[in-house]
Chain A
Amino acid sequence: DGGITQSPKYLFRKEGQNVTLSCEQNLNHDAMYWYRQDPGQGLRLIYYSQIVNDFQKGDIAEGYSVSREKKESFPLTVTSAQKNPTAFYLCASKERETQYFGPGTRLLVL
């Protein structure tokens, strides 16, 4: 079964803690994206990667970091510098013009 998986489904962060959200795809897509969704809002771009070992900041990259060591994987770290991390995080990969999304991770702050 080809697709995009994200884990965990729910993640709780304590004050001052860094947490990492996993995104894996077996679609053999080069480009991958991280978006943040807030209630009643569209999605906003955090980071993207067009190819392995390369990634670029999106519109709201502050307080986040990523890596792209393997084609299949694009993890997102929410650092303590992100003061308002509570949101739904969506990972996507792209084939030609179409982006395909994972099921999302909901991040909550304790």
Chain B
Amino acid sequence: GNSVTQMEGPVTLSEEAFLTINCTYTATGYPSLFWYVQYPGEGLQLLLKATKADDKGSNKGFEATYRKETTSFHLEKGSVQVSDSAVYFCALLGGSQGNLIFGKGTKLSVKP
């Protein structure tokens, strides 16, 4: 079945460091891929998405490229800020009910 695997956290970085959070998926076909961000005590916010292979999603300095060869959708940011501290979820649209399949989330802490 469809599944998403993302790197385990927590990830702790200093401000202005480079961020990579790895995400790989198993799916039939080429589903749309998403990154969501969750701040403490809140719901999920859509960060970026890519709907087909080789697409690059980007938002607020974050980027991720849909790589069908490696079945990956890694999240990157060139220079993180303290305000980026949150839990990041990788997901694919591939459930039989039209739902999202989520990874377990990666907690990011950015220190000043």
Which residues of A are interface residues toward B (Cβ below 8 A)? 4, 6, 31, 33, 40-43, 45, 48, 50, 56, 58, 90, 92, 94, 97-104, 106
A-side interface mostly:
strand
Nearest-Cβ distance from residue A38 to partner chain B, whole angstroms: 10
Pairs across A and B, CB under 8 Å, 27 listed = A4-B43, A31-B98, A33-B99, A40-B105, A41-B105, A42-B4, A42-B89, A42-B102, A42-B105, A43-B102, A45-B97, A45-B99, A48-B97, A48-B99, A50-B98, A58-B97, A90-B43, A92-B44, A97-B51, A97-B93, A98-B46, A98-B49, A99-B46, A100-B46, A101-B44, A104-B41, A104-B43
Q: Mark B85-100, 1 if CB is under 8 A from A, else 0.
A: 0000101010101111
Total residues of chain B contacting the partner, CB 8 A: 24
